[in-house]
Amino acid sequence: MENRAIAHLLYETADLMEVAGEDSFRIRSYRTAAGVIEGHPESMASILKNPERKVTDIPGIGKGIAAVLVEIEQRGSFERRDEMLEKYPESALELLKIQGLGPKSIRVLFEQLHITSIDSLERACREQKLRELPRMGAKLEEKVLRSIAAYRQRQGRFLLNFAQRAADELTEYLSTVEGIEKITPAGSLRRGKETVGDLDLLVTGVGAPAALEKFVVHPKVEEILGKGENKASVRFGHEGLQVDLRALGSESYGAALQYFTGSKEHSVALRQRALKMGLTLNEYGLSKVDGGEIVARKTEEEIYEALGLAWIPPELRENSGEIEAAAARKLPKLVEQSQIRGDLHMHTTESDGRATLEEMVEAAHALGYEYVAITDHSKALAMANGMDEKRAVAFAHKVREMDQSGFGLRVFSGIECDIKRDGEMDLDNDALGELDFVIGSVHSYMNLEAAEMTDRLMRALECPHIKMLGHPTGRLLLNRDPYPFDFDLIATEAARRKVYLEINSSPERLDLTASHIRAAKAKGCKFVINTDAHHPKHLANMQYGVRMARRGWLEASDVLNALPVHEFARLIDLK
């Protein structure tokens, strides 16, 4: 079994143990182990098979978990999990994904109303059964019904990094087929959308039909949904991602790529423009309405050019002004990953990171960055071992020593300081004043009314030391909605006070989102693209934040960490 699948079993069991109200220490040990296993470069299976190796040598894996791993390797499950599944059906896990329902409520619903699935939960809400239970009421019924609707809507979508990994895996797998010219992802993945419904891959060259044959026998294909001469669709992996592979002729590759990249809205607008010019556009090419003579089809550039447009980067293709801008030759020169010179949000073992200060700095150096800021949590996040004033200042000294250690990489001291419920910063101004880069972030009380949340953020912006608002809307993709607040007001105030807004690259967050970025830029805001890494490998998530920035029409000049280190230091008032 793959590491990721093993981690999934552990997470699942921990969730069920939480519903059962078991000891939080044991639950945490499962979750910690799952995180470690997920991030471990070698497969657990291969370590277990090797008599000279011990899984307990991996930090975070104790004897108990080691025994669990052996059991999973032997029979695909383990005792604890079986016990839990005897008590609660697997469908109860789904209930945890409904916002507003915690493990305790789920236990009550299970015990009192025998609710074990979303459908039965929905029924109970409609029949007003929840209000009869202690500490539940009519308001909760409404809230749960709304959450169920939201849950159903996001069902069957996947995070961008998940889709990207599947695309990379398949591309590599198919690249050995003889006679293949190109394999390209299209659809929402190519546009860099934060979640992907299904994966669209295009392949061209004389070997394309052979690629279709090889595609459907990939070991991770769970089901073949359809297979024709030019197209095959499969379910890939146990998560059930649908992948469509299309074989195309190279003479009309540009037209097909344009068509299957979408978005649908962009393509519809493009076709209308074509018609006004006496042209028709489809996946085979751009041609004259009269006579059918082909005008362009080999490359996207030719097609856009023939329509009187500059080539439009896929991230902009949402029919939200990009066609007009391309016609006026006023498309932005979008920021690129190679222009990013630093990462200003990352954690170490000083709080809840999984690697040491030295390891994080070295990994950032290996990526070629000019500078980083180390931003561990503050004390309000006790679960994450957040720092109080004294520790924060002492740790800043350690960070400055790293800065002097001759890496050639500037290391700035920072903190991700909690914004408390009332908008006060978690640490006092004296301590914050000692640090180079202070991030203010909301991690608690996310269910405030919009007005209260707006006041809270306004208050935080008043702090003289805050340099950036971290993951400003608090959303967790496919999981938690943004908290409500007056975004325009906060963006205006942030611009006025020169507080940067974060584009958090963590694939679960991607916060801010494209429309927020554009709105904030219009108010005069500047941005920082960060990874919020808790492990060296997370530093590679920068690619996703950059794509979000591009979807938000940003240029390098909008992005603080695209600046050379001396300009960066000047802008955040460092000596």
Binding string to ligand DGT for residues 196 to 225, with x set by CB under 6 A, is what?
A: xxx-x-------------------------
The residue within the footprint of Ca ion, chosen from 198, 350, 418, 532 (CB under 5 A), is 198
**Residue 303 or 346: which CB sits closer to Zn ion?**
346
* Residue bearing tokens 């050019």: 305
Q: Which two tokens stand for residue 533?
A: 């890494």
Which residues, numbered 264-283, are part of the site for ligand DGT (CB under 6 A)?
Answer: 264, 267-268
Residue 188 binds ligand DGT (CB under 6 A): yes
Residue 263 binds ligand DGT (CB under 6 A): yes
CB–CB of 413/435 below 8 Å?
yes
Q: Shortest distance, CB of residue 233 to ligand DGT, whole angstroms?
A: 10
Sign of CA dihedral 133, 137, 143, 146: positive
**Order of strands, sheet of 221-227, starting from the edge strand that comes earlier in the sequence:** 182-185, 199-204, 241-248, 231-236, 221-227
Q: Which range touches Ca ion (CB under 5 A), out of 7-15, 180-188, 495-503, 549-557?
A: 180-188
The residue within the footprint of Zn ion, chosen from 441, 473, 513, 541 (CB under 5 A), is 441
* 260 contact choice in ligand DGT, Ca ion, Zn ion, none (CB below 5 to 8 Å, kind-dependent): ligand DGT
* Residue with the CB atom nearest Zn ion in the bound state: 441
**Residue 116 or 267: which CB sits closer to Ca ion?**
267
Q: Is 229 exposed, middle or buried (0-12, 13-18, 19+ CB in 10 A)?
A: exposed
**Residue 267 or 504: which CB sits closer to ligand DGT?**
267
**Residue 283 or 352: which CB sits closer to ligand DGT?**
283
Shortest CA distance to 539 belongs to which of 326, 268, 345, 290? 345
Q: Is 126 exposed, middle or buried (0-12, 13-18, 19+ CB in 10 A)?
A: exposed
Q: Give dist(CA 14, CA 84) in Å, integer.
A: 9
* Residue bearing tokens 């793959």: 2
* 441 contact choice in Ca ion, ligand DGT, Zn ion, none (CB below 5 to 8 Å, kind-dependent): Zn ion
Q: Which two tokens stand for residue 294?
A: 């082909």
CB–CB of 238/205 below 8 Å?
no
Shortest CA distance to 347 belongs to which of 458, 481, 443, 463? 443
Q: Give dist(CA 512, CA 161) in Å, integer.
A: 17
* 267 contact choice in Zn ion, Ca ion, ligand DGT, none (CB below 5 to 8 Å, kind-dependent): ligand DGT
Q: Which two tokens stand for residue 173?
A: 């797998």
**Residue 16 or 415: which CB sits closer to Zn ion?**
415
* Residue with the CB atom nearest Ca ion in the bound state: 187
Q: Shortest distance, CB of residue 261 to ligand DGT, whole angstroms?
A: 6
Q: Shortest distance, CB of residue 217 to ligand DGT, whole angstroms?
A: 23
CB–CB of 344/530 below 8 Å?
yes
What residues line the site for ligand DGT (CB under 6 A)?
187-188, 193, 196-198, 200, 259-260, 262-264, 267-268
Site residues, Zn ion (CB under 5 A): 441
Tell me which residues touch Ca ion (CB under 5 A): 187-188, 198, 200, 244
